[in-house]
């Protein structure tokens, strides 16, 4: 006699739990879709449509959304564009001689076409070192600008460790230029 009444209570409780569970899943799906679409597109109309799709069609809506959503998130897209940019820049900077613009290999020290100095070798460990690095990244040995480099690039400042004769030589190179510049005023 009492069993049916108890069963009703249990059934009601079970229905309530299942109902609450379904509502929680439903809300979770909508919130997940909202977050997911926001990470993939800035288009507000697209965001609204995606959320409506899931809100109206629930699980099948989620399936359709997953099939149709943009493949990449905005963060992934940004990372990819950065990587592509870095590759392009590397190709541009490393793989052509800055002097004659011809193709060169990564491991080249001198340009084989115009003898332009591309990289140095560390005097301590022998690894390749970029010309504008001040220490060798492989062994920590201070990297000094080579003689050829000081002759070629006028921008490079003479380091404090360099010998005095070298500085005098440098000054001697500049003097004739100044004299030549002054001559036209006399004539
Ligand atoms: Zn070259
Ligand atoms: Zn080194």
Q: Is residue 2 part of a domain?
A: no
CA of 162 from ligand 1 middle (Å) equals 28
Domain assignment present for 12: yes
* Domain that residue 145 falls in: 109-180
The confidence score (pLDDT) of residue 97 equals: 86
pLDDT tens track for 36-56? 999 999 999 999 999 999 999
Number of residues assigned to the chain:
187
How far apart are the CA of 113 and the centre of ligand 2, in A? 27
Query: What pLDDT was estimated at residue 92?
Result: 64
Ligand 2 center from residue 161 Cα (angstroms): 18
Rg of the Cα atoms in the chain: 36
Whether 152 is in a domain gets the answer: yes
Predicted model pTM: 0.46
Ligand 1 centroid, distance to 95 Cα (angstroms): 11
pLDDT, position 7: 84
Q: How confident is the model at residue 12, as a pLDDT?
A: 92
Are 122 and 60 part of one and the same domain? Answer: no
Listed as ranges, residues in the chain with pLDDT below 70 are 1-5, 91-94, 145-187
Q: Contact, 159 vs 151, CB < 8 A? A: no
Residue 78 is assigned to a structural domain of this protein: no
Confirm whether 102 is domain-assigned.
no
């Amino acid at each position: 006699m009492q069993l049916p009444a108890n069963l009703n209570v249990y059934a009601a409780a079970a229905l309530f739990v299942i109902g609450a569970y379904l509502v929680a899943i439903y809300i979770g799906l909508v919130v997940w879709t909202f977050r997911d679409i926001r990470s993939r597109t800035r288009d507000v109309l697209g965001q609204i449509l995606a959320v409506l799709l899931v809100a109206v069609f629930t699980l099948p809506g989620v399936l359709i959304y997953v099939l149709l959503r943009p493949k990449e998130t905005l963060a992934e897209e940004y990372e990819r564009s950065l990587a592509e940019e870095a590759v392009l820049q590397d190709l541009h900077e490393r793989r052509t001689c800055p002097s004659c613009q011809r193709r060169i290999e990564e491991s080249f020290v001198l340009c084989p076409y115009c003898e332009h100095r591309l990289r140095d070798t560390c005097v301590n460990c022998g690894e390749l070192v970029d010309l504008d690095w001040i220490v060798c990244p492989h062994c920590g040995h201070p990297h000094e600008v080579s003689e050829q480099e000081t002759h070629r690039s006028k921008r490079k400042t003479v380091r404090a460790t360099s010998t005095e004769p070298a500085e005098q030589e440098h000054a001697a190179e500049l003097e004739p230029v100044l004299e030549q510049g002054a001559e036209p005023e006399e004539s």
